[in-house]
Amino acid sequence: MLKTVSHISIKSLRRFSSVSPSPLKHNLVEGLQQRNLRHGISLHHHMHSHLQSYSHDVFLANHLITMYAKCGNIVYARQVFEEMPERNVVSWTSLITGYAQAGNELEGFCLLSAMLAHCCPNEFALSSVLTSCWYEPGKQVHGLALKLGLHCSIYVANALISMYGRCRDVNAAYEAWTVFEDMEFKNLVTWNSMIAAFQCCNLGKQAVGVFMRMHSDGVGFDRATLLNICSSLYKSSDLVRDDVSKCCLQLHSLTVKSGFVTQTEVATSLVKIYSETLGDFSECYKLFMEMSQCRDIVAWTGIITAFAVYDPERAILLFGQLRREKLSPDWYTFSSVLKACAGLVTARHALTIHAQVIKGGFEADTVLNNSLIHAYAKCGSLDLCKRVFDDMDSRDVVSWNSMLKAYSLHGQVDSILPVFHQMDIKPDSATFIALLSACSHAGRVEEGMKIFISMFEKPETLPQLHHYACVIDMLGRAERFTEAEEVINQMPMEPDAVVWSALLGSCRKHGNTRLGKLAAEKLKELEPTNSLSYIQMSNIYSAEGSFNEANKSRKEMETWRVKKEPGLSWTEIGNKVHEFASGGHRRADREAIYKELERLIGRLKEMGYVPEMRSALQDIEEEEQKEEHLSHHSEKLALAFAVMEGRKSSDCGVNLIQIMKNIRICIDCHNFMKLASKLLGKEILVRDSNRFHHFKDSSCSCNDYW
């Protein structure tokens, strides 16, 4: 072993040779306790060169084992152990602890088994083994502890609780609870271990219960306690929103009183609960602003992640503020801010972040490149998606899926299939979702069904709920309802809300009242607060002239206090995003927008535009009122505003107008955009909740199939 050491610390040897040829034992121990591998090897070399003095010194050999183990060189530690002519319980325990620290469960467990033939393990040997082992070997160690009477040791009991918690099994968690309840004395580690065990097993109620009992018993808490409770509130599915809200407020108050709120990890965990679990973004932002003295890159990334989907613009502004505070974004920060870029109208911010990714040295990172493909696709720039994808040195399955999804989102089914055939990596579930969605959007039913049937050839690609939803959507769009019903009846699992929503949408499009009613009832059972089932059925009844039934559906919606998601659209003019709601009532400039829109509609009518009255609200009786309602749909207002502002600025030569809408575009607005693209001589790119529509020269990329 020592011959492999290329360099020996001369300074270390001189220190000991100046004392005597045989340095004092305590000096050697002091040197070995420094946890310096090179220094420790030098001392080991010195001991080897004075074998007569040290060859039978178990005390020093034990310190050597500990030194090598703590320095991460478990091979040297084992060699010292094997060369010992005599060993005591400390020798065995030191090496077992070394294996536990190295995460080598098997070797540590085998060593404990071998130890039983030579000496009786102590509490430290058992607790060390337990820190790295899982359920079955852990149960055996538990049995041994009971047999030796060591289960009463607080070190062993705490290690048992942690071991059972790591198993992430409900039964194991209750075994941990049995150990906890049987303990006569508990310290802070005991309480924290029990809370963590329940948290790991997704038993949030129990974790909160332990914390409340701990608090009522007057037991103090630390940062680890708070972080475990925050994780329980954030991750556990057995806690309802009201319970989480109540606990979060109490926990927040407790962290303020105790001063722990000033610790970045604690505050960031609270931010995560407020944003992702409670959806309380104002409180989340307020808490972040109060962290002014302790905001590190983790805290900044947490708040950017919180706003990435809810308010992408705010997330971008926060990222800019982070940069102004001279902090360097890491991989996680870039990943979060790119998610925010995907929620914006244009690719302007994505391009800026892309430049910073390159500047930060992450240009070869596969995950960030995948995020860039996703962001560019969502912002309407398919060319930039292709450029990132083509420039990647290595691609994983997510890279291929991201490119396939980009083509699917833009309705380019002729491009998606060749890319799929070029895949040099095994496809996964998401791959087939992208393919089936593309076929559904383009009306390629036969190709889509071939892909769907091929999924049954291998166990790893068997269709799941999302794949069935794509197939139902594809068959329903094509008015092949008999086949759609057959697929639903043959599903090996219960259809979920997405499957019934897909069927209901197709029934609305083609006026299939019977099947639509079935789909709506199923959807109400699964998601009673989802407005889709009520609105779609109202529209189906109205289309066939059953206005009483339509009104009943709307009244039912009011009875259950179900609210329809308001139609909103956004467009970006002069580096500023403008929002529009149906009717335009939120905007101070609405009268000017109305006039511009009226002028546009007049010119489009001359080209043959006829308002599609079926897209108007069904409870409006007069035709003129229906037409006025249609003209004030949010995407029309956004287009009128873009045209109006384009005339005022130097951007009038820009040939692309981009609009984003939160719900699906209606038939009337679709017809309107087609003719407007011809009239204005511009491409109009509309991203709705489902896909992109590229309007140009009176036609749409979807070929009127959406």
Paired tokens of 358: 């390159």
Write out the H or E segment, with its range, that includes residue 406.
helix 397-409
464-560 adopts what CATH topology? 1.25.40
Q: Could you report the per-residue pLDDT of 311-363, keeping only the tens digit for each?
A: 999 999 999 999 999 999 999 999 999 999 999 999 999 999 999 999 999 99
Read off the pTM: 0.78
Least confident of 499-508, 555-564, 604-613: 555-564
Query: What backbone phi and psi angles, to 5 degrees, belong to 618?
Result: -75, -15
Query: What backbone phi and psi angles, to 5 degrees, belong to 691?
Result: -170, 180
pLDDT the model gives residue 621: 46
Beta strand 656-661 with 683-687 is: parallel
Least confident of 50-54, 458-462, 511-515, 644-648: 50-54
Bigger pLDDT: 559 vs 696: 696
Kindly write down the DSSP assignment for every residue of 595-646, as one continuous string. HHHHHHHHHHHHTT----GGGS-TT--SHHHHHHHHHT-HHHHHHHHHHHHH
Q: In what order do the strands lie in the sheet with 692-696?
A: 576-581, 568-573, 656-661, 683-687, 692-696, 699-700
pLDDT the model gives residue 556: 86
pLDDT band at 620 (very low <50, low <70, confident <90, very high): very low
Beta strand 656-661 with 576-581 is: unpaired
> Looking at residues 489-507, what average pLDDT do you find?
95
Average pLDDT of every residue of the chain: 87
Q: Could you report the per-residue pLDDT of 191-236, keeping only the tens digit for each?
A: 999 999 999 988 989 999 999 999 888 899 999 999 999 998 887 7
Beta strand 699-700 with 656-661 is: unpaired
Residues of the chain above pLDDT 70, percent: 91
> Looking at residues 404-427, what average pLDDT do you find?
92
pLDDT the model gives residue 15: 43
Q: Could you report the per-residue pLDDT of 536-565, keeping only the tens digit for each?
A: 888 888 878 788 888 888 888 888 888 888
Paired tokens of 231: 């994780």
pLDDT band at 53 (very low <50, low <70, confident <90, very high): low
Bigger pLDDT: 117 vs 433: 433
Q: Looking at the predicted structure, is the pLDDT value of residue 47 above 80?
A: no
Q: Could you report the per-residue pLDDT of 288-325, keeping only the tens digit for each?
A: 888 877 788 988 998 999 999 889 999 999 999 999 99
pLDDT band at 615 (very low <50, low <70, confident <90, very high): low
Backbone torsion region of residue 611, taken as left when φ is above 0, otherwise alpha when ψ lies between -120 and 50, otherwise beta:
beta
Residues of the chain above pLDDT 90, percent: 54
Q: Looking at the predicted structure, is the pLDDT value of residue 18 above 50?
A: no
Least confident of 11-20, 60-69, 565-574, 619-628: 11-20
Helices (H) and strands (E) in the chain, counts: 38, 6
Query: What backbone phi and psi angles, to 5 degrees, belong to 702?
Result: -85, -5
pLDDT the model gives residue 209: 93
> What's the CA gap between 644 and 280, in Å, rounded?
37
Paired tokens of 211: 């914390």
> What's the CA gap between 337 and 177, in Å, rounded?
42
Domain range list for the chain: 464-560, 568-616+625-700
pLDDT the model gives residue 241: 82
> Looking at residues 374-403, what average pLDDT do you find?
96
> Looking at residues 133-150, what average pLDDT do you find?
90
pLDDT the model gives residue 24: 58
Which distant-in-sequence residues (6+ apart) come within 8 Å of 75 by Cβ? Answer: none
Q: Looking at the predicted structure, is the pLDDT value of residue 42 above 70?
A: yes
pLDDT the model gives residue 631: 76
pLDDT the model gives residue 447: 95
> What's the CA gap between 321 and 327, in Å, rounded?
9
CB 347 within 8 A of CB 379: yes
pLDDT the model gives residue 6: 35
Q: Looking at the predicted structure, is the pLDDT value of residue 521 above 60?
A: yes
pLDDT band at 26 (very low <50, low <70, confident <90, very high): low
395: helix, strand or coil: coil
